[in-house]
Structure 1
Amino acid sequence: MSRLGPWLTLAAVGVLGGTLFVVNMAQDTTTSTEAVAPPPTAATTQATAQDETAATPFPAEADYVGTTSLASGATLTLAITVEGEKAIAYACDGVAIESWLDGPAEAGTLRLTGKNAASFDGDFDGDAVTGSLAIGGKQWTFTAAPVQPPAGLYVYEAAGVRQSWITDGAGRVTGVQRAADGTTTPAPALRPDGTATVAGAEVTATKVSGGDDVG
């Protein structure tokens, strides 16, 4: 009787077991590779964030007005006027605080600057402009809603004295008069037709648009 039979049987079992082990390993490797997704790259994450926060472009011409409360109890009003890729903003409290700013209006974003390190950074969401205004080391958050004429920003200047007014969507007016020496006082009343009495004379204010040169 041959003694090779048992050995051949064991060898066959060993080969079969090895083959099954290799097959199982291959299946496990394939399953593991398919289950683990590659981590997102920094570029992909940044692109996604930019897509989600992309601002809406401004209309060709538009005006926006917003207000915020001051610690003193007074109201600070901000007017923004956009024309093409330029914008002008004016903020005042109707008594002493005032600031003119200008800069680009590109891709729904405003980065405006003015004298004495004044700045306004804002974004357009398709309706209103929301952003942060800084004047004299103080900072306020604004949401400026769209307004239609005659609402908007107006100015009149003569003999070195400038009157600046903001008319909101409800017809309320706030403004500041700046004298040649830089002192400020409340501006004379501006009527709905854009006229005012300045130093005893009847004058017509000019409506400001984003492409003008004022400030």
Structure 2
Amino acid sequence: MKRPGPLLTLLAGLLLGVFMLSLNATTGTKNASSYRGESPGVTVSPNPTPSSSPTKAAPPPSPSPTTSPVTNADYAGRTDDHSSAVAVSLRDGKAIAYFCDGRDKESWLKGDVKDDGTMKLTGKNGAELNGALKDGQRIRGTVDLGGQQYGFTADKAVKPSGLYRATATVRGAKLDGGWIVLPGGKQVGILDRDGKPSAAPRIDPETGAVTIDGQTLTARPVTP
């Protein structure tokens, strides 16, 4: 049998070499592609906690309705049973009142007046006046005195109506007089002489002059 020639042998070697080169190139490319495809591990951050919805601010409270300060004025009137008189003087949120039956029962009371016109005034021996200003024209309330309660209405007074008082020492006696001049001119008052009450003499409502035991005194308007 005839041996293949050197040329055929050389051709076979060349073909084998080309095949091996081609195989290496394909393998290298595949490995490179595989390497590039394997991306390093990535640490995934947890989703940030969604911020809570902002709290809706509460609407500001509605402002309280304002009330006008009580006007300075004087009030005078009678109890519901017409047995006694009541006068109240208001000045700058303060009040002084006088309850008097014109014979032997009386009481001076004082206290604060709220912006809404209500008042609670107190006097000696547990005396108390509770009242409320109505439309700036009158005071409606009660007086508790000596275990009795008296309802009253005191209308706004125009001078000379109102509340008056005089104190003095005459012939060694200590005098303390209180007068309520009602609308229409009628007067109700008590003169306390050394702790003994009695009906008070009339005063001149225009000047406040009053004669007691032969001496002329001046009863002046009372304010807190």
Question: Is the structural similarity TM-score above 0.5?
Answer: yes
Decide which structure has the larger Cα Rg and report it: 2
Residue in structure 2 matching 1:148, options 148, 158, 175: 158
TM-score, with length taken from structure 2: 0.65
2:75 is matched with which residue? Answer: 64
Supply the distance in 1 between the matched residues of 2:134 and 2:178 (Cα, whole angstroms).
Answer: 28
Supply the distance in 2 between the matched residues of 1:142 and 1:55 (Cα, whole angstroms).
Answer: 25
Once the two structures are TM-superposed, the CA of residue 183 in structure 1 deviates from its matched residue by 1.3
Name the aligned partner's letter for residue 129 of structure 1.
I
Residue in structure 1 matching 2:203, options 181, 184, 190: 190
Unpaired runs of 5+ residues, structure 1, are 1-49
Once the two structures are TM-superposed, the CA of residue 56 in structure 1 deviates from its matched residue by 7.0
1:161 is matched with which residue? Answer: 175
Residue in structure 2 matching 1:136, options 143, 146, 165: 146
Counterparts of 1:1-215 in structure 2, within 5 Å, are 57-59=69-71, 61-68=72-79, 70=81, 75-107=83-115, 108-126=117-135, 127-159=137-169, 160-180=174-194, 182-193=195-206, 194-209=208-223, 211=224
Supply the distance in 2 between the matched residues of 1:81 and 1:199 (Cα, whole angstroms).
Answer: 29
Deviations 1:167-208 (A, max 9, x none): 01111111001122x211001111222111111012211110
1:150/1:164 CA distance change after superposition, 3 Å: same
Q: Is the helix fraction higher in 1 or 2?
A: 1
Unpaired runs of 5+ residues, structure 2, are 1-63
2:53 is matched with which residue? Answer: none
**Percent identity of the aligned residues?**
36
Calculate the aligned-residue CA RMSD, in Å: 2.1
Name the aligned partner's letter for residue 63 of structure 1.
D
Supply the distance in 2 between the matched residues of 1:84 and 1:204 (Cα, whole angstroms).
Answer: 25
- Aligned pairs, how many? 155
1:30 is matched with which residue? Answer: none
Supply the distance in 2 between the matched residues of 1:153 and 1:101 (Cα, whole angstroms).
Answer: 13
TM-score, with length taken from structure 1: 0.67
